[in-house]
Structure formats: C-alpha cells, structure tokens
Amino acid sequence: MKQTFLIPILLLAAALRPAAAQNPMTLHDCMEYAISHSTKMRIQQAATDDARIARRDAILSVFLPSISGSSSASYSFGRNIDPETNTYINTVSFSNGYGLSAGLTLFNGFAAVNNLKISQTSLKMGQTRERQTEADLCLAVMEAYYNVLYYQKLLEICEGQVVTAEQLLQKAQRQEELGQKGHADVVELESALADRRYDLVNTRNLLADHRVSLEDLLFWPAGEALEIDGNVSALVPESPVKGEALIDYALEHNPALRLAAWEVDNARLALNTAKWQLLPSVSLSGGWNTSYYSFQGSQTTPFFDLLRRNGGEYVGMSVSIPVFNRLSRHSAITRRRNDLTRATAEYDQKQRDVESEVRRAVQDRDGAAAAYEQAARKAEVQQEAYALNTRKLEQGLISPLEYQTASNNYLRAGADRLNSLFKYLIKHSVVRYYGGEEYINQ
C-alpha cells in the first residue's frame, strides 16, 4: 500500500525531468529555426535589400552622369532632300544615324544629396526593422515554447491525478464490498475521478493548440513531429536592476525609438528638399552624333569615311527657373512640414511608450520573481503535507477523499511552480532585451 500512494510523487518527479525525445529542440534551436524559416523575416529581408538598392541608386545619381546611345536607320522613297546640295531629288535613299549623349545635374536644390542621406537612413531603418522583427519573433517563440513545455508537464501531472483517483476508487469499492465503506463515499470518489479525467482531456487539447501555435511560428513542416527539450534550469531571481539606468540605455538603443528618430531625420531632409525646389536647377549636357546616307544609282562615299566627315559634338548648359506651377511647390512644402510635425509627435510618443514599457517590464520581472519564490515555497510545504497525509492514510486517520484532495493540492502546487518559473523566465528575458541583450543570445 505504501508504494501505491508514492506513485504521484514519482509522477511529479518525472514531470520535472526533461521528457525523453529523439533530437529534441532547445529554445535556442527553435529561435534559430524560426529566424531562418519565418516568412516575416524573409519579407523584411527583401525590404532591406530594396533599401540597399535605393542607396546605391542615390549614390550613382549624385556622382555619375546619365549616358545614353541611339541609332536609327530609314529608307525613303520618292521626293527627298539631298544632304550635299540641299535640293530636292526624286530617288530612293538610305540614311543611318548614330548618337551618344550624357547629362549631369549640377544643382537641383540639393535634392540628390538629401535623397542620398534619406536612402542611407532608410537602409539603417531596414536593418533595424529586421533585427526588431527577429526580436519579436524570438519573444513569440519563447512564449509558445514555454506554453508547450508547461502543458506537457501539466498533462503528466493530470495523468498522475487520474491514476491516483482510480486507485482510490478501486480501494473504496473493495472496502464497500467488505462493508467498511458506504456507497456515498464511493460515489464521491467516482465524481472526483470524472473531474480528473475531464481535466486530463482539457489539458491534452490545450497542449495540442499551443503546439500548433509553436509550429506555426517556426514554419515547421506539416506532418513532422516537433520534439522540444524540457530541460529548464530553475534560475534564482536576481536582484532588481535600477529602472532609471535601464531606461536611459533603452532611450538610446531601443530599435523602435531609433526608428522613430530616423523618421524625424528623413522628414526634416524631405522638408529641406521641398524648400530648395523654389530655386532654379542647373544641368550640363553633351554628346556626339554622326550619320551616313546613300542614294540609289549614285556614287556614295565609303561608310566609315562618311561617318567621320558627318560627325559632330555639342556641349550645353540649361537653367530651369520655377515661376508658377499652380502652387504645387508651396503645397509640397506644407505637406512636408506636416510630415515633420507628425514624425516629431510620433517620436515623443514612442519615447514615452519605451519609458513605460521598461518600467512595466522591470515591475513584471520583480513581481514574477516574487511569485516564483512563493510558488516554490508552496510546493515545498505541499510536499511535506502530502508525505504527512500519506502516513495518516496508511494509519487510517483520514479518508481516501481527504487524501485525494491533499494529493491534488500537492500536484497543483508543482504545476503552479512550473508556471511561475516560466513566467519569470519570460519577464527576465524581456528586461535583459531592454538592457541590450538580444533574445537569441541570452
């Protein structure tokens, strides 16, 4: 009988050990897999590549001219102008022309320079968004991973409760046959067993749901089993980090806040560009062209000799002065000024949000640490109470129903300790992230 009622203790011990699995994936493995397979990461990486291409185009537009070549060929029938005599003739002619031109903008209100600066900032923003997407994905994977791990352990605990309830019911039924127990006691134990089986089915369904959520985040192949490593060390809660120091670091390095600051910089550059568009623009151009022609039935100069003879070069400079364009430039300045106002307000709001998020993260971490300490203490007390009630049951001092209540309290205390531990690990990781540690490196 003593070994029979030690089964819940063995089951809880098994629940606290990592589940045996072939090639189980650790939390770090899941994060790496999600980063390399997530569609969100691939989309953001493509956006970053677009920003890199835009920066390259902006650099080339500032320092290099635009160059183009042209060629033409045509047959003419009937009345045409003779290029040599500039008189009309009536014959079939063939003409062939070649040209090469280049243009360079010397001044356009610093639009090219500002676009270069904007493209450089946009590339930084794309790279930062990529890291932010990676961080958000890692945090989501962490929460889903711990949820799966928790419900795996909770399922084992529920299975232990069902086994204990079945054993107590079998013992009560035997005692009823011997006249030592009444039928009411047996009915109560049957009701308790039904409750434990319901909890088991509900927990199994929740585990399946959270496992699907984790597989979706990992973009895990359908039809393949995902095994995770349940070896989680119980970290001792650290001493609280001073919130002010953490806030100062976050305000300087937080990706979301840096993105908002770069949006302000880009809006200011766009406003300056719009203002400079009220000034004239200056451009330089040059080129070379030549042509070849022949008439049916006439002696024509050789091809290359005629190309050299007809060749010509040109250089030009143009100035475009804006006079009136239905106030479109003034409207553009107003819109860019509104964009700057909007970006500045969003930066101020994001700054306030980051401060609040850091304070809340520290508070949640400290609260989770305190809750974990209490849950661990509660589990120790319930373990002592369970051992005491086991001896009482063996001595006939308590009823099986009272013992089952004590057993359930002991197993639930172990589950609460696990839940508190996982919550603390998540909150602790969030605080470390605000302190500059990426989730993937923790």
**pLDDT tens-digit map of 199-222:** 999 999 999 999 999 999 999 998
pLDDT of residue 242: 62
328-369 pLDDT, tens digit per residue, is 889 999 999 999 999 999 999 999 999 999 999 999 999 999
pLDDT of residue 404: 80
Flag whether pLDDT at 301 surpasses 90. no
Instruction: Give this prediction's pTM.
Output: 0.78
Flag whether pLDDT at 5 surpasses 50. no
Question: Is residue 368 a contact partner of residue 420, using CB atoms and an 8 Å limit?
Answer: yes
Domain containing 69 equals 4-441
Average pLDDT of span 381-400: 84
pLDDT of residue 10: 38
Q: How far apart are CA 229 and CA 145, in angstroms?
A: 10
Neighbours of 264 (CB within 10 A): 18
Flag whether pLDDT at 21 surpasses 50. no
Neighbours of 384 (CB within 10 A): 10
Range of lowest pLDDT (60-64, 148-152, 183-187)? 183-187
The count of structural domains within the chain is: 1
Q: How far apart are CA 44 and CA 41, in angstroms?
A: 5
Q: How far is CA 49 from CA 122, 127, 151, 206, in A?
A: 11, 9, 40, 40
Average pLDDT of span 282-300: 85
What the block records as the tokens of 271 is 């406003």
**What CATH number did the domain enclosing 316 receive?**
1.20.1600.10
Question: Is residue 385 a contact partner of residue 410, using CB atoms and an 8 Å limit?
Answer: yes
Average pLDDT of span 251-272: 94
pLDDT of residue 84: 67
pLDDT of residue 2: 38
pLDDT of residue 168: 82
Residue 427: HSE in the Cβ half-sphere, 13 Å Cα cutoff: 25
Flag whether pLDDT at 267 surpasses 70. yes
**What is the pLDDT of the chain when averaged over all its residues?**
86
Return the H-helix or E-strand segment holding 66: strand 66-76
Neighbours of 303 (CB within 10 A): 11
Spatial strand order of the sheet with 281-295 comes to: 66-76, 93-107, 281-295, 312-320
Higher pLDDT, 108 or 176: 108
What is the percent of the chain with per-residue pLDDT over 90, rounded to a whole number? Answer: 55
9 — pLDDT class (breaks 50, 70, 90): very low
Average pLDDT of span 79-98: 79
Strands 79-81 and 312-320: what pairing? Answer: unpaired
Higher pLDDT, 15 or 176: 176
pLDDT of residue 213: 95
Range of lowest pLDDT (227-241, 256-270, 405-419)? 227-241
pLDDT of residue 241: 56
